[in-house]
Amino acid sequence: MRSDRKISKVQYITLAVFGLLIFLLGWSLLTYTGFIRSFFLPTPTKVLSSIVSLLTEGSLLSDIFASVYRILLGFLLSLVISLPLGITLGVSRKFEAFTEPIIAFIRYIPPSAFIPLAIIWFGIGETEKVVILFLGVAPYLTLLIADIVINTRHELVEAALTLGATGKDIITKVVFPNALPGIWDSFRIMIGAAWTFVIIAEIVGASSGLGHLMIESQRFLRTDNIFAAIVVIGFLGLATDYFFKITYKIFFPWTEKSHA
Amino acid sequence: MLELKNVSKTYTQNNQQVEAIKNLNLSVKERELIALVGPSGCGKTTLLKIIAGLISATNGEVILDGKKILNPGKDRGLVFQQFTLFPWLTIKENISFGLDLQNLDDKKKTEIINHYLGVTGLKDFAEFYPKNLSGGMQQRVAIARTLANNPKILLMDEPFGSLDSQTRSQMQEFLTKLWEAEKHTILFITHDVQEAAFLADAVYVLSKRPMEIKNMFSVPFARPRVHTLKHTKEFFEFENKIAQELER
Amino acid sequence: MKKFQVGILVILVVVVGFVVWYNASQKNELPVTSQPLKIGLNPWIGHGLYYVAKEKGFFEKKKVNVELTNFDAGEIGKQLINTNKVDALSLTPETVIILNDAGVKVKAVAMTDTSEGADGVIVSKDIKSISDLKGKKVAFEVGSPSHFFLTYLLNQQGLTTNDLEVVNTAAPDAGTSFVAGKVDAAVTWEPWLSKANERPGGYLLVNSKETPILPAMPIFRTEVIESRPQDIRAMLRALFDAREWILANQNEAVKIMAKNFNITEQDVRDQLPTFRWFSYQENIDGFGSGQYSAKNLIQSAGDLWLKLGLSKTKVNANDLVDTSLLKNLYK
């Protein structure tokens, strides 16, 4: 545990802003001076104006909605499978022996390897994207959840047993609530991965979405648009991350991580 | 009310058979506070877990009120050495855990919870989470949680072992006072001879592995007992007697 | 625990609400309830015609439900039509040959536009003619319109791509490669053609204005032509109407195209002179016959592909075009 773990909110924000400013300074120095040609690295203002013009005159908003839609739908589907599967895996060794090899096998195949097959089966519409996302997220999420469940301190289970709890109660009243913060954190990690998979799928074949926007911009040599899309993706990812961190503290004030 | 008949436990470790407990016979009467002392690693925790029903004996029987023990249940409450409060529940909810599993009406539940909050002196901490409590406070909650469930016997596995000596003293006083007020049946394991002599009605001395009962000492001191008892000559001599038996 | 339950419920409601809303909003785009005609479009500026037709309601007016699917790489487009995800691709003559050779029965039914300067060959300063490309490193995308363009030009000089050192690269990357000095020549599109001189001495050797052999054609699966000729005719009528409208409303058309391609209006204006949309009359005159007719160019592509060993069968372009749809368009 780092000794400087506790700093005031003001300090945190100041340092964060400072870090951002340094980054902007470096970027500006490289571009406004012409050291790097604007075709390869546009200036910050150009990227900003591209974002604005893409919003007002282009399809940025609908592309954002398209990518977000795919991520949400794919993630929801993965959740529906991974949560019960992961918990069962963590609780039952027999079930683990039965399913683990298949899950591990799929997990090691990068989802982008499934893209050509998925396009043949489903085309380049929403279904294909959601399938790719599912194949990338579900196996990993299942194993993350299983791991958290397996690591339930056995003393907690034993305490519950000596208080009169039986099998079902142990899972719903001890294992699950104990695992919840870890599971929530797994969501945060896997949504980041989901962003990666969706963008790759959109780059390879799509009619809409941020990845499609980038490849289309490449076709028309609009590097500034490519950067605009990258910045937007970065911000959306950051927002998602903060969402999970903040809700973690609200939902689980009893954990060590939350300063209640 | 609790009887151990020829209980033995063997398990396999590194492809070898290890006999942890050998032909143990023990009897605990209602409302007795019994202490078991033994060297570390002799199998005390294993014995307690067998009584609790968490693991099964290889041979022999554990009988509670005439019925054989096969599985864990609320009739045998267990307080561990490590803090095992449920971190996601408040103090109040922790104490209420066992009660919530039964179909008690809310009035009865609140009565019991408030009683134990008072007894442990933690009324002001009812809505706190375990992470905000000191070690001593957490163990008090653990004890309260188990007792609120009204077990027939309370099993305690070196419950004060991870506390500093001052807190440990306070906890011992807390336990004796509680026992003297409510007279639960308690089976208490410790490696601390002084603690055993101070708390119990009778002290059983256990041998090294394979564990057997070496000897039994009836504790002669009157109740209520205060910590000043520990500094008397008679107590010191009694303590030594047990310690010598332990080392023999 | 209560905070969690309430919070999760709120989150779920918002997320599911968004998913349901978005799903529904996508379906709203189909006003006509008949089965859609699915067209696959790559990011070619001439396809602005389709976007304008859709947005200004020309398809609707002709009572045809047209669904536009964008794809970027040529391979994806071919897969889409091969797996029936689209009914047609809007592409150039060599695509007809490639699809036909792969067993996909297709026919071109019209020409919507042709590249007149949008495609070209940029070369290093020591290359003075197409014949000078012999033995040189040339970057282009195999199986693409650029490939056909180059092959056609080489054939006129008695050469084939086998006489070059081919570096298979997608068109945008081909341009970058050339400017970086990694290849001696590249076959690509704007804006790379104007950027040729970013490499000292580099210049545009020849472009499609002099040799307009890259018309964009709706290439339909034959079973769709047989089962729904009236829908295809309606679509063509809508496209020709849209073209008229664009000529009369250039500013608004430019706006629509800029939005759909995510480029600036100035970018669109700069590219307008590099291609030409065909009218119905120009199709009647020049689709089935003429040096730069669809039929002729498809025949050339077929012969060249066979010669290069890129296809297995000799083709007769009469089997690969359908002039009947155009002929009866306004009856």
pLDDT in tens, C264-282: 899 899 999 999 999 999 9
Residue B45's pLDDT is what?
Answer: 87
Can you give the residue range of the structural domain that contains A171?
59-251
**Total number of domains in chain C:** 2
Give yes or no: residues B84 and B144 share one domain: yes
On whether both A201 and A183 belong to a single domain, the answer is yes
At residue C32, the pLDDT reads: 53
Residues A21 and A85 reside in one and the same domain? no
- Collect all residues with Cβ–Cβ distance below 8 Å to A86 and sequence separation of at least 6: A141, A142, A143, A144, A145, A146, A148, A149, A183
Secondary structure of residue A207 in the 3-state scheme? coil
Do C66 and C186 share a domain, yes or no? no
Cβ atoms of A217 and A229 within 8 Å: the answer is yes
> pLDDT below 50 — which residues of chain C?
none
Identify the helix (H) or strand (E) that includes residue A29. helix A9-32
Query: Are both A27 and A108 inside the same structural domain?
Result: no
Residue partners of C276: CB distance under 8 A and separation at least 6: C113, C114, C116
- Contacting chains of C (3 CB pairs or more, <8 Å) are A
C111 shares its domain with C140 = no
Give the DSSP per-residue string, C179-247. HTTSSSEEEEETTTTGGGGGSTT-EEEEETTTS---EEEEEEEHHHHHH-HHHHHHHHHHHHHHHHHHH
- Tell me the CA distances in angstroms from C272 to C118, C260, C269, one per residue in order: 9, 15, 5
The residue range of the domain holding C184 is 119-207
Is A2 part of a structural domain of the chain? no
Same domain for A139 and A24:
no
Site of tokens 């469930």: B149
Tell me how close the Cα of A99 comes to any Cα of chain C, in angstroms.
29
CB contact under 8 A, A124 and C85: yes
Same domain membership, residue A224 and residue A172: yes
ipTM of the complex: 0.88
pTM of the model: 0.78
Q: What is the pLDDT along chain A (260 residues), one digit of tens a residue?
A: 666 667 777 888 888 899 989 998 998 888 888 888 777 888 888 888 889 888 887 889 989 999 999 999 999 999 999 999 999 988 888 888 888 888 888 888 888 888 888 888 888 888 889 999 999 999 999 999 999 999 998 889 999 999 988 888 999 999 999 999 999 999 999 999 999 999 999 988 888 899 988 888 877 778 888 999 999 999 999 999 999 999 999 999 999 776 64
Verify that C184 and C129 share a domain, yes or no: yes
Q: How high is the pLDDT of residue B223?
A: 84
Q: C-side interface with A, Cβ within 8 Å?
A: 1, 3-4, 7-8, 11, 15-16, 18-19, 22-23, 26, 43, 68-73, 76, 79-80, 83, 85, 172, 191-192, 255, 258-265, 267
Contact C186, C149 (CB under 8 A): no
CA atoms within 13 Å, Cβ hemisphere of B143 = 30
Res C4: pLDDT = 85
Residue C15 lies in a domain: no
The whole-angstrom separation of Cα C164 and Cα C183 is 11
- B80 lies in which domain range? 76-151
Beginning with the edge strand found earlier in the chain, give each strand of the sheet holding B76-79 in spatial order. Answer: B76-79, B153-157, B185-190, B33-37, B202-206, B213-218
Which residues from chain C sit within 8 angstroms of residue A126, using beta carbons?
Answer: 26
Residue keyed to tokens 């084939």: C160
B128 contacts chain A (CB < 8 A): no
pLDDT at A260: 46
Query: Which chains are adjacent to chain A, needing at least 3 Cβ pairs under 8 Å?
Result: B, C
Residues C197 and C227 in one domain: no
Q: Look up the CATH number of the domain holding residue C102.
A: 3.40.190.10
> Is residue C101 one of the residues assigned to a domain?
yes
The answer to whether position C174 is within a domain reads yes
> Which CATH number belongs to the domain containing residue A63 in this structure?
1.10.3720.10
As separate numbers, helices (DSSP H) first and strands (DSSP E) second, chain B gives 7, 10
Residue B163 CA to residue B175 CA, distance in Å, equals 14
Contact: A158, B73; criterion CB under 8 Å? no
Same domain, C95 and C61: yes
Residues of A in contact with B155 (CB under 8 A): 162
Q: Which of B89, B116, B151 is the last residue of a domain?
A: B151
Residue C306: inside a domain, yes or no?
yes
Same domain, C68 and C106: yes
pLDDT, tens only, B9-39: 888 888 888 888 888 888 898 899 999 998 8
Using a CB-CB cut-off of 8 Å, the residues of chain B touching A153 are 84
**Looking at the domain assignment, is residue A260 inside a domain?**
no
- Nearest-neighbour CA in chain C from A102: distance (Å): 29
